[in-house]
Amino acid sequence: MTGLARFFSSMVSRYMPDSFVIAIILTLVTGALTFLFEHKELGTIVDSWGNGFWNLLTFAMQISIILATGYALAISPLVDRLLNRMVSVVNRPSTAIIVATVAGGVASYLNWGFGLVVGGIVARKLALTVRGVHYPLIVTSAYSAFTLYGLGLSSVIPITISTPGHPLHAQMGLIPLSQTIFSPPMLVASAIVLITLPILNALMHPKNGADVIEFDQSLSKQEFVDEPSSHATGTHHTFASKLNNSRLLAYIIGGLGMVFVVRQIIQGGTININSINLILLFLGIVMVGTPARYVARLSQGVGMISGIILQYPFYAGIMALMASSRLMTLLSDAFAHVATQHTLPLWALLSSYVINIFVPSGGGHWVLQGPFMIAAARELGAPLNQTAMAVQLGNAWNDIVQPLWILPVLALSRLRLADVMGYLVVAMLWIGIVYAGVLLWWGYSA
C-alpha cells in the first residue's frame, strides 16, 4: 500500500499544479465544452461565466467563518488542554493516523462543516505530539473521511427530498430519511467506510523514516500563542483597556448567542452551517475569555483563508457555465441510456462523480442533475430513493479529490495540494469501490 501511495504522490507532485491553476484550467475546459457541444457564441459563454462569478459569496463567507472561528475555539485554553489530553495517549504513527481518520469521519457524519474543522485540528495536534508521523498523510487521513458527510446527518440531497415543498416534490414526492441515509445499505456503507478507511490510511504510512515529513514545530510556536499582543489588549489600566479585557462582556455576549442557538433548535430549526458558525463563534468568545484575546486569536485564523477568497469565485463561474448549458443533461442522458433498473444507481454514482468536478455543491448539483436522473428512474422503474442517494454519494465521493473542498484543509495545515493529493487518490479509489459495491447490492436486492 505504501508503494501505491508513493506512486500516486510522485505522479501528483510531478504533474499537478497548484489549486488556483486547477481552478483556471477547469474554467477554460468548461467554457470549451460549452462552445463545442452547445455551439454558443464566445461572448455568451463569457457573460454566463462573469455573471455567475460572485454567486458563491455567501458560501465563501460561511466557509471562511467556520475556519477562522473553529481555529480560534481550538486554540482557546480549555479546548487546547482537552485536545492535548486526548492526543497524549497516542504514541504510534499508525495509531495517530487511525485516530485522525475516525475523528474526521465521525465529525463529518454529524455535520459536514464541523467535520472540515475538527478533523484538521485533531490531525495537527497529533502531528505535534506523535514523533515520526508523516504530516501530509495525517492531514489527508482526517480529510479523506469527509466523504462520510454524504451518508450522515447533514447530507444535502436526502434532507432536501425529505422536506415538504422541495424543488422536485411534484416529480418524486417526499422520501423519508429512513429510506436514504438510515436505510440498511447506507448504514452498512457508513460502517464499512468508518472501519476500513482508517486501516487503509494507516497502511499508507511510509515505512522508511527518511520518507517521513514531520510537522514544523517552529511554525506551531508562531501560531499557538497564549497571549495577544500588547497593542490588542492595552498595557495601561485605562477604561478602554478594562473593557477590551472584560470577561464579563465576553460571557454576556457569548451566553446570549448560545441561548439564541438553543432556542432555534428547540423551536424546530435545523443544524446547518449558519448554526454551526454561531456555536463556534459564541462558544469561542466564552472559552477564550475576553474580547481582546478573541480578536487576537481570530486574526490568526483569518490569515488562513486567502485561498478561499481567491478561488471560490472561479468555481462559482464554472457552476454558472454548467447551469447555463445542457452539458449535465447530455452526460446524465448518456449514462441513463446504458443503465437498467438495477444498475441505474451505479451509473448515477458515476455521472454524479464527473459532474461534481464542475459543480462541487450538493444543493446546486441536485437542482441541476436531479430532474434528469429522477426522469430516468421513472422510465426504468428504478427506486427513486436509490437514485437520489447514488447522486449524493457521487458528490461525496468526488469531494475527496475536489480542490474546492480541499482548500479549507490546505489552509489549516499550510500544505500544498500536491502534498496531499497522492494519498487522497488512493482513498478515493477505495471509497469508489465501496460505494459502487453497496449500490449494486442495493439495486439488485430491491
What are 17's three cell numbers?
A: 499544479
pLDDT per residue as tens digits for the range 61-75: 887 887 788 778 877
Cα–Cα distance, 262 to 140 (Å, whole number) = 33
Cα–Cα distance, 63 to 157 (Å, whole number) = 19
Stated pTM of the model: 0.78
Mean pLDDT of 375-402: 91
Task: Please give the pLDDT value at position 235.
Answer: 52
Task: Please give the pLDDT value at position 271.
Answer: 67
- The pLDDT confidence band at residue 226, using thresholds 50, 70 and 90, is very low
The pLDDT of residue 4 is above 80: no
- The pLDDT confidence band at residue 137, using thresholds 50, 70 and 90, is very high
Write the DSSP symbol of residue 150: G
Place of cell 527518511: 210
Mean pLDDT of 346-374: 81
What are 43's three cell numbers?
A: 461572448
Number of Cβ within a 10 Å radius of residue 270: 12
Cα–Cα distance, 65 to 70 (Å, whole number) = 8
Task: Please give the pLDDT value at position 189.
Answer: 96
Residue that wins the pLDDT comparison between 143 and 62? 143
Residue that wins the pLDDT comparison between 44 and 272? 44
**Can you say whether residue 27 is alpha, beta or left, with left for phi > 0 and alpha for psi between -120 and 50 degrees?**
alpha
